[in-house]
Amino acid sequence: MNASPIAVIAIDGPTASGKGTVALRVAAALGFHYLDSGALYRVTALCALDRGIDPRDGAEVTAMATDLPVSFAGARIELAGVDVSEAIRAETISQYASVVASHPGVRTALLERQRAFRKAPGLVADGRDMGSVVFPDARLKVFLTASAEIRAQRRHKQLIEKGFAANLGAILQELRSRDARDSSRAVAPLQAGAPDTVLDSDGMTIEQVVDAVLERYRRVVDQS
Ligand code: CDP
């Protein structure tokens, strides 16, 4: 039996593994809500920079995260009423997000905001600790991954398509440094769960990955 009647599909994994795209499509296919937990850490980082707070200062950032004036309206993310949906995707914010996310107090401060996304008929949540910490009773847990080289190529293509200048070598290096920070932090590190949660997307298209997740979910539902 589930502790909560509202189903959660937790999709965790390293940067550029395709989690966001896959989670959104799985949510659309099932008519579920969607939580982009990384966006909360990104907004926290942006807010700290705006207010002149050092992202490495755990106490200051935690105090700020507790009253973070963030709101979600569909795909639009607002910080104190200003649309920051685009601004939080900048590469500098990606790095700072992983710094603020390493503070235990910040993670605790953002916990209930994430759990509030759990609404009927269900939720697809993507991040690093969706299955391990935020929704440990998730109906389905997926650890979506791919090799660092493939992830760097995907991120590179994405940036070029958006019209940004991008260097593959630099992207690979940044991605590895973020992987290292996300995996080595003391609290809620990025870790694969049970072996049957791993979905390695090397050589798979987004559609194939979405289908694989939906198939896993169908199996779980059929078994319950
Ligand atoms: O899109 P990408 O995977 O590159 O990043 P993201 O999911 O937006 O997350 C940005 C950063 O927030 C990550 O590098 C993590 O350090 C942190 N994060 C986290 O610690 N826990 C989560 N549940 C989600 C993100």
Residue 71 has pLDDT above 70, yes or no: yes
Nearest CA to ligand 1 atom 1: 15
34: enclosing H helix or E strand: strand 33-36
DSSP letter (8 states) at residue 119 = -
For ligand 1, is residue 97 a contact (CB within 6 Å)? Answer: yes
* Rounded CA separation 96/103 (Å): 12
* Rounded CA separation 218/202 (Å): 23
CATH number belonging to domain 7-205? 3.40.50.300
Mean pLDDT over residues 19-46, rounded?
96
Q: Which pLDDT value is given to residue 4?
A: 62
**What are the residue boundaries of the structural domains of the chain, listed by start?**
7-205
Q: Which pLDDT value is given to residue 69?
A: 94
Residue 46 has pLDDT above 80, yes or no: yes
Q: How does strand 33-36 pair with strand 198-200? A: unpaired
For ligand 1, is residue 143 a contact (CB within 6 Å)? Answer: no
Contact 9, 144 (CB under 8 A): no
Q: Which pLDDT value is given to residue 7?
A: 97
SS3 percent helix, strand, coil of the chain, rounded to 5, is 50, 15, 30
Residue 193 has pLDDT above 80, yes or no: no
Q: Which pLDDT value is given to residue 1?
A: 47
Mean pLDDT over residues 109-117, rounded?
96
Q: Is 6 exposed, middle or buried (CB count within 10 Å of its CB: 0-12, 13-18, 19+)?
A: middle
Name the average pLDDT for the chain: 93
Residue 2 has pLDDT above 50, yes or no: no
Contact 60, 53 (CB under 8 A): yes
Contact 35, 124 (CB under 8 A): yes
Mean pLDDT over residues 179-204, rounded?
87
For ligand 1, is residue 114 a contact (CB within 6 Å)? Answer: no
Give 144-176 pLDDT, tens digit per residue.
999 999 999 999 998 899 888 889 999 999 999
Contact 200, 145 (CB under 8 A): yes
Residue 50 has pLDDT above 80, yes or no: yes
* Rounded CA separation 58/135 (Å): 24
Per DSSP, helices labelled H in the chain are 19-30, 37-50, 58-66, 91-100, 104-115, 148-161, 168-184, 206-223
For ligand 1, is residue 152 a contact (CB within 6 Å)? Answer: no
For ligand 1, is residue 102 a contact (CB within 6 Å)? Answer: no
Contact 159, 78 (CB under 8 A): no
Residue 199 pLDDT grade (very low, low, confident, very high; cuts 50, 70, 90): very high
For 12, 97, 99, 188, the CA distances from 59, given in Å and listed in that order, are: 27, 16, 13, 18
Q: Which pLDDT value is given to residue 90?
A: 87
Nearest CA to ligand 1 atom 25: 38
